[in-house]
Each structure stands twice: as C-alpha cells, then as structure tokens.
Structure 1
C-alpha cells in the first residue's frame, strides 16, 4: 500500500498556506469572464504544480471537477472553481480567495471522511488502485482479479486483468459500452489505450475503467447503491485519475488452466445466444452467492427498444453550470456528431443541443477528435471535403462561443485559410483567420459550398506571444484538416459522406443556411 494519495490530498494546503495563497492572488484583479486566458496563465505561472493538482483533487471530492489531475489549470478547472463558488454563495469569478479555499478544504475533507482511501498494490493483477478501506473489506481473489466489498453489500470494488485470452481492447469496449435490457450505459469514453463506462444496473450505480498495453487489459469496477452515492460518486473520479494499471507484474495466472476463461466465453455467448435473457461474463457467484452483474452482456433484442432509449424522456434534467464552458459539434452521420476531444474530456455526462444526452463518447486524444452518439433525431449530416482547401480560400467557422455571455444561438464568422500547416509546420492543422472564441471548439469549418474543410480547434495564446514578443497577434486560429478528420472517421467505422468536389460556391448567407441545422452546442453536465 502507498501513501501517495494522502500526500496529494494534502498538497493544496502544504504547497502554500491558504492565507499566503489568497494574499498572493488578491494581486490578480477579479477577472471578468472574458479574461479566461489571463486567469489561466496567472494560475499556471504563479502557483506550483503540487498546489494545482491538489486543487483539482479537492474539487473532485466536492463533485465539481471530473477532469484529469494534470495540474494544468484550463477551462474545465476554471469552470469547476466557478461552480464551487456559485454553489456556496460566493462571487463566481474563478479567483480563489481565502474564504473559498478554507471552504474547499473543509468540504473536501468532509466528503472523504471515513472512506480511508488508500493506494493498494493488487498482487493478482499488478495494478495500483485507490480503495476506500474504511468502507470495504478485502474479500480475496476472483477469477480475474480481487474483490473488495462492504459488509452490507452496498459497495463492491473489483480489480480485473485479461491477458492472452483472445479478447481485444476494442472488443471489450464494444461489449461493456453496449446497453442491455437490464443495464443502462449513461457514460462511455474511449481513448487510444483506455476507456471508461458508467451507468445503472439493478438499482446500482456502476463505473468501469480499463487500460491496454498490447494484449494485456487491466481495469477495475466500482458498484454501489444509492445510499453510498454521495460518498462514492466523487471517489470514482479520484480513483479513475489515480489508477496505475501497469506498475507491477501479476503474481498469478488470470484463470486456472483447467477452467474456461470467462471473457472468452462471454463473447461466444454473445454471438450464439438468441433467447433475449441476460447473460453474465462472470459465471462465478462468488462470496455471498450473488452473481456479479457488472459485466452483463447485451441481449439479442430482436427489435426490442434498448433501455437507454426509454430512459431519455425520464432522465433528470442536467444542472446549469455557473460558467458555461460549452463547445460545439456537428452531425457527421446518422446519430453521430463530431467535436474536439478537449470539449468532452473529463465530462461525467455530455448534453447536445436542447437537452439531448449522449449515449456514447469516443475520444482520440492524439488528434483531439471525439465522436458523440445521440439516440435522437438530428439535422442532416454534413459532407467532408475530399481535397485540401486552397490557400486564401474563404471559410466560415460555425459554433456556439461564450454562451454564458453572447447569444446562445448559432454564431458564424468569416475568414480565410491563412496557411495549410499549423504551428511549427504541423501537417494536421490549417491556420485560419476566421475569429473564434472559447466555445467554438469542435464546430465545423466550411467553405462556401457548405463542405467541411476542417474542425475548429484552437487559437494562438495571445498573452503568451505578447509576453514573448511584445506584440499581440491577431486572427491566428487553427482547425484540424479534412484528411485527418476522414482518417479518424474511417478508423472508427463511421459511414460519412464525401463532399462533391464540383459543388457550386454560394453566398455566405446561403452557405450558412445549408449547414446550420447540423451544428449543435455540446456541454458537460454533472
């Protein structure tokens, strides 16, 4: 076992005292909402890394932050600070004061009190994972890892290792992220080498995280009843961030040689079953005689309506964040929208448009792209340009920037393709002059024929450049190129439509009218 978690949790106090920190930041003016970059730069340059990581961990314990504990203060952390301030009757400006810091320390301490969260080295799987030893007892090994359970069966935590079984990372994600007639999937995120899935089953909340290193798949699951939600929901965010899947070698084989592998059997049962009954990957009922239901297979519904479809109308309405750091997205195929990975990274849930909740989110961190699946009627999919845009070509950036400040309707700006390469000659990006703001990320960049020629992604950090050169850059923004987008969509088996290269150019209003119904705001909600 390791004490790293305790050290991280203490960092927000130990790195600098609350009084000293508040005094230092009183020198930073109470920044208006339009000064997001200024405030982010101030945090990242005037405080040390241990403080910033500790801040993110404590905001996770209060339920305000669900992103990575990177120590980089960007839009998600700023939003979490503002949400915490708004919920506690403070001025939601994102500037930490002494009273706010003291309140945060007290509330985060209270949130984890009694849990006794400890980093545990699991010999069975070789993982290092956070376990609330104040709430659960070590029940010993299972077929695929180790089990911890509370005395009242209200909490179960299981480590899992799958190796040399024929199971693949993509195959496991496909199984676990598919809702069944007994298990809903309320959140699913997939990156290149990890994924998370969460939802409800048999009245219990569940969360799973898996990582891959070649054919070696390691992960953990958490399941808990409503009685534990207040304590365990923040714990899940912390445990997911601190999970270290490949720190040790496992001490034993995955499954005894004489016994069938449950995950291989799981896939076979999925292919062959036709009775529509629930089938479980974990056949062993384990201690207490109750079968694990975290790995239930999707049943062969044969026309039945998936549970998640039925849940759309009765799902609780998402809360309105104190500071809306929404991005944008656009329809790329039936039921699918495309956006940036950084728009949805760390979101517990994703809302599209008028309260449509995402049923699946797939993230590609390497290319900063993400797919969002929505089980609802969307606008007509946009078409992707098959060729590179021309240097100097007129382009339109569509999206929903600064929705907490500007109008919440679609915003359109016009510019040109300034360069066919990004920063430092990066071939994945275009440089554009169309003005963009926070919230434009993930929106389409289209030409005057309505063809998608890029995905709006970033703008040059004017503050950093001004500090370095003494000059403020203007209209230097970036979009992901269409060939990168096409490759990403093909890799994820999305049947998109290639644009007609001979389509006629139109006026700006006509080109806008042609594509506007396919563009939606994308918002993280708790």
Structure 2
C-alpha cells in the first residue's frame, strides 16, 4: 500500500480522537476563494526545531513521534514530518520531564524519550503483527487484551474481564461495500451517539459513545475486499485506552499485500493465546551505599524473612522500622553513592526514581514532589527505590509499594508515594558508621541520563526467599 494512502487513512481517524486536524490532513473540499491574509509572523524557535528534526534519519524522526504517543504527549499520525503537533508535543515532554532545551531536544533527551516510549510499549506488551484471518496488520496491547479467539473473517482480543474488546473483520469482494457498512454503523439508536464520522471512497472512520463506553471503527476498501477493526471500551479506562487507540491506528495496515515482500509481517494463525510468562519483580529495591552494605526501606521488606540480592543471601545488620541495612557481598560498585540531601525539597520539584526490575535492569521514572512524598509512574518492586533531585543528590527512598496497585490499561499510572527523607537517611547512616558519599562535581541541574548514570551498578533488586 502506498505511504500516501496510509497517511490519509490514519489522518482521518486520528482527527476523531484528537478533536483537531492531524498534521497529515485529508484534503478539504474545494472552497470559494477567501480574502488574502497576511502571512504568519516568522517563528525562529519553531523554524530552528524543524530544521534540526528534519536533519535526523527518518527512522529516528518516526521513532520520536511514536514515543511521544506512548508518553501521552502526541495524538496524531506518525509520519516523520515536522508540524505544530510534533513541536508542541516535544515542548510538553521537555517541560514535564525537566529537560533544559529551549527548542529542539538534544541527543541525551531524545535518547531518554525513545527509551520512555519503548518502556511504555514493553509494559503494555504492544505487538505489531499480521492477523491471518483478516489479513490486516496492526498492533495489539497483549497485556491489556490477553484473551484471543477467532471470529468469522477476523480475530477478537479482550481484556480479562471482557470490558475492552479489539476485533478485526474482513469481507471478500462483492459481499458488502463501504456505503452499506457506513449506513449501518452510523444509524441512529436511542442509546448510542455518533461523535465523529468520515467516509471516503476507499476508507471510513466512525467513533461513537454510549452512557458507559466509547468505540472506534475503521474500515478500508481494496482489491482483496474490505478490512478493518473495531475497539470498544468503558469510559473509565478512556484516559489510557484513547492513547492505545492512537497507537493501534498508527500501526494499522489493511492491505499489506500491496507492500514489498520484504516489508510484510508474518501472518499469525489464530490459536488459544499462550499464558503470558510469570513475571516476578523484586520485592524491593536497594541502594549500595558502601562495600558490602545495601540500604532499603524497612517497610518494603516487612514481609521478607530471607532477602537475597542477585541470588546471594543478604543479611539484615541494622533496622529501625523505617530503614534497613543489609550485609551483602556484591561485585565492585560502579561509583560512589549519592549524598543524602540536607535541605527540604520544594513543592513540584522534579525528581528521578530508580526502581529495580526483573533481570537486573533499572527502571527510570521521572516524577515530582507532592507534599512530603512524590508522584511518579512506579512499577512493582519500587519500595526502597532511591529518589534523586536533578543535581544527583539523594532526596529519599520510596517508603513502600502497594501489594495490589491500581492498573490502567495494564500499566500503573502516576501515583503518590510516601518518602523516607534524606535527613532521616543521613542520621541512620551516621548511627551505623556509614561514611557519606560524595556530592556531584557539578551541582547544576542535569539531564535524566546524566543523573541516573552516576548510580550505574548501585541500584539492586531484593528478592525474598519466602
């Protein structure tokens, strides 16, 4: 399928979600000549950002737009071209994460953005593949929709409770046409309101609402017939699922046969979905603060009687019901531990949380201070995780993580967490004769990558034997 045709399909549908025209617009109907308007005033910031963006390889340009979809900052078509929506999305991301670039983000911020998008995709288990029964290619958030079954001419994916459904559908040539489908799905009913409808000779998009839910329908017509998908979900999940609909729409290719063979995805036969692998996140996160010593929150390890780190036993050597000090024989740490901050944090101050994940990786979560705690999108195992300010000082540790966190679209959203403050940590370390670390040579605010890089090798996951 030609790239231009795919952009047209995407642009029409994403208008319905964004409430405004997408960057790649469907051409408007001819209008009477309007009065000549003065050209817009030059915008040197926008022009410079556009020039920097267009100098990047196409794969990175598209990757940045896709990542902005997943961070919730962009709600339009992934084309690799620069427009106001991309410009505003990059500015919104920079402001929200505390990046210091005034115009276009530099390499470090772009790398952080791409990593954030990849992490969100991974968290939702978003897999783009070809659906054999319908012939379409699209992305499926498999963590959100683990149930899969075959339907006539397509496949149905559902959430565990059946409240969210994604379904592909295909019709062979001559069985029906877009006019008939459009008339059927836009027909008025007492309990359903069509909120957007668009029909062109080769595609249609319709969105609708009921008192409880929302739906998004897209069909395309081509030589093999008619193919499309429908997704329906409750309004309570709209904040997260609306974003997923944008990602699904951006991935949708109705007629992959028209693409070169080298670009086609493998067809997927419908079979009972295998059980997802059992994920065992760490019970808590620890911070190496000296040779053989790991600091964590006591509350995060309250139910853990046999802690281990990287498969080795970790013995409790000191605790005061707020903090716990473990004895462990680790590999040589990557650098000096951070110094506990001795000044109070300000409200809405930007912070970074480093939580241990399964397999020894570290999740980097930007957040901000709220009251005496923080607000951040943390994942299981973040109890005891170090919280740093943008100068690399230790603001505190995450006190605990809930045993049953609230999930939205299979992902834990930004939530408030209690904090063990830096002053309390400093006192505990002094009582146990643990020398303070060294402060960063440059106290000026730094990027996420620079701040987190200083703790390479010092953040560890703590597992429980029972």
- Shorter-chain TM-score bucket reads 0.3 to 0.5
TM-score, structure 1 length as denominator? 0.37
Task: Kindly name which structure, 1 or 2, has the bigger radius of gyration based on alpha carbons.
Answer: 2
TM-score, structure 2 length as denominator? 0.42
More RCO (CA 8 Å, sep 6+): 2
